[in-house]
Amino acid sequence: MKARIASHPRYPHLLQAYIDCQKVGAPPDIASLLDGIIRRENAADGRGAAPNLIFGADPELDEFMEVYRQVLVKYGRDLAQPFDEATAFLNTVQIQLSHLCKPAPRVISADEAAGSSEEELSGGEVEVPESHSKDEERDLKEKLLRKYSGYLSSLKKEFSKKKKKGKLPREARQVLLDWWAAHYKWPYPTEADKISLAETTGLDQKQINNWFINQRKRHWKPSENMQFAIVDSFPASSLFADD
């Protein structure tokens, strides 16, 4: 049966339809090998390697060969369609990207057009405003902000929480420790001191206040003399006031 199929007059067309299906999506080197098979088969058929059957001698085989060829041709078209669509899509994307990469045409105002003749005569270049490009960039930014604003806001809040809970930067903490060591007897910075420390460290006054409160709780205790001095600073009437 194989010999009868190979010697049928429709066999070259059947083989061509089969090879076309195999070539869909194949790399160039594989497609070249498949074409070589067709060439070798045609050359062998031309040399009379196998005696050809007469078309019509076997109607059933004739019908089989034709129907099978048509099935392979349709199958090849169906296989090629998604590849053709993908190729067309990629070409469209490439064209659009090339247009985006090109500088947008700039609109020349009336004043620039009036003064451009002298520049053209002198060989000078005329600059065109990039209003169109800026409009596109602004529209793109607005779309991105609308789409991701909620996500960015949540990230910002989360980052702020972590920043508040985290330790102060090493440089800022060292500045506060230096001030603490210099004013250990009375580590209560004035408002002017807090402003100066905020400018030096980059911290806000709330962070500075919290740091000094925690530092005094953990590492500072007023001496007895200082305690008596604080008590003596109050008027006697406030300490022994009548009920």
- In angstroms, the CA 25 to CA 22 distance is 8
Q: What is the mean pLDDT of each run of 10 residues along the chain (243 residues)?
A: 79 88 86 85 63 71 86 88 84 80 62 55 51 75 74 65 68 94 92 93 92 92 59 50 48
Per-residue pLDDT at 182: 94
**Global pTM exceeds 0.85:** no
CATH of domain 164-235: 1.10.10.60
- The domain segmentation of the chain, as residue ranges, is 2-101, 164-235
- In angstroms, the CA 186 to CA 180 distance is 9
Scan for tokens 């090998």, then name that residue.
Answer: 33
- In angstroms, the CA 23 to CA 43 distance is 20
Which DSSP symbol is given to 74? H
Strand ranges inside 145-190, DSSP E: none
Per-residue pLDDT at 4: 77
Per-residue pLDDT at 208: 93
Q: Are 41 and 17 in contact (CB under 8 A)?
A: no
Per-residue pLDDT at 91: 83
Q: Which residues contact 59 (CB under 8 A, 6 or more apart)?
A: none
- In angstroms, the CA 108 to CA 111 distance is 8
Half-sphere exposure of 227 (CA within 13 A, CB side): 5
- In angstroms, the CA 24 to CA 83 distance is 8
Q: Are 75 and 52 in contact (CB under 8 A)?
A: no
Mapped onto helix, strand or coil, the DSSP state of residue 103 is coil
